[in-house]
Homo-oligomer: A and B are copies of this chain.
């Protein structure tokens, strides 16, 4: 299979924070952000594999920054490494101030997806060919993360 670059799977999902997604402090629920990241990452994995993809795991995610009601949130996901039937997807989240336009990095997250056929059986995916320095760094890190997770029995 022909290798693909991260650009070919890059997925941008910009949207507002609505009142139904906020907690008692009027900030976005952590769980809602996890769900948005899952949808964006799943599209990225689908663009790389051109298959149905299912979430296999979520790596450690830290919520460093509250996301207030009315913010504009941008979730950007791209495949960072591909294995035989699975893909690691790296996700960056930015928040944008409505009035001065200042863009702040709010989160990074790493999800893993498996490509499956219509019966749910894992199927092969193309290899990933990183291009930029950041893409190469994440590509290398993916392998370390995989070994670490195998090593600790996760």
Task: List residues of A whose CB falls within 8 A of some B CB.
Answer: 11-16, 18-20, 22-25, 27, 29-32, 34-40, 42-43, 46-47, 50-52, 54-63, 66, 70, 72, 96, 98-101, 111, 116, 118, 120, 149, 154
Contact = CB atoms under 8 A, between A and B. Distances in A.
Given A38-B30, A39-B16, A40-B14, A60 B63 contact: no
Given A57-B63, A62-B57, A36 B31 contact: yes
B39 A58 contact: no
B56 A43 contact: no
A38 to B, nearest CB: 3
B70 A24 contact: yes
